[in-house]
A and B are shown apart, each in its own frame.
Chain A
């Protein structure tokens, strides 16, 4: 099946710094990728939809200036958490839509972000 990778798998940063998380589709081209956030013992909340070559669509309540999303190629989307604060600590998961079966999303392994 299709494989989606994320890098890094975990990261610790200091408050006020920025962190970039990469999401790659390894064996297919993904015109659409999704970014989710998951707090401990909670479900996944969609943050934004990333479309290759265009601006991301953010869900209500998600600060677009804080969570910068770039989908510069058909296999790579990045999420940059700018001026991170401890409350941004979370598990971030990306997924990519299968172009041959638009109802299917393939999920990355997630990135654990801890802001100190």
Chain B
């Protein structure tokens, strides 16, 4: 069975500062990895995904993430955050050939302060 751990429940950061949201996963097979963003009272929007190939993945809104197989991590980064990036961020994993079942981490609330 797969599991996802987001180490920080909240990350406060000042506007224009860099940020990293951490995600570690556990699985016995190869996985697909995803980061989603959720704004208040809304559904999930896909930020980026890792399927295969280059371990550095670029997504929307200036976010990127790096897949590290040896450390089973998929940390999300942005070099300079904006107030509008304040939201909940979810890391998710899906085992290949497992019916596309997503397992979500607990979420990290990014709070960007002026």
Chain A residues engaging chain B, CB cutoff 8 angstroms: 4, 6, 32, 34, 41-44, 46, 49, 91, 93, 95, 97, 102-105, 107-110, 112
| Chief secondary structure at chain A's binding surface | strand
B99 touches A49 (CB 8 A): yes
B41 touches A112 (CB 8 A): yes
Interface check B101, CB cutoff 8 A: yes
CB distance from B30 to the nearest CB of A (A): 11
A97 touches B43 (CB 8 A): no
A46 touches B107 (CB 8 A): no
Extra inter-chain contacts (19) besides given A42-B107, A46-B102, A49-B99, CB under 8 Å:
A4-B43, A6-B43, A32-B100, A43-B107, A44-B44, A93-B43, A93-B44, A95-B44, A102-B100, A103-B32, A103-B49, A103-B96, A104-B46, A104-B100, A107-B43, A108-B43, A109-B42, A110-B43, A112-B41
Interface check B25, CB cutoff 8 A: no
A110 to B101, CA, bound (A): 19
CB distance from B31 to the nearest CB of A (A): 10
With A103-B51, A103-B94 as contacts: A46 and B101 at CB distance below 8 Å: yes
In the bound complex, residues from chain B placing their C-beta under 8 Å from that of A6 are 43
Q: Which residue of B lies closest to A1 (CB)?
A: B46
Give the contacting residue for A42; candidates B36, B49, B96, B106; CB below 8 A: B106
Interface check B90, CB cutoff 8 A: yes
Q: Tell me the residues in window 93-114 of chain B with beta carbons closer than 8 Å to chain A beta carbons.
A: 94, 96, 99-102, 104-107, 109
CB distance from B52 to the nearest CB of A (A): 10
With A43-B90, A43-B106 as contacts: A107 and B44 at CB distance below 8 Å: yes
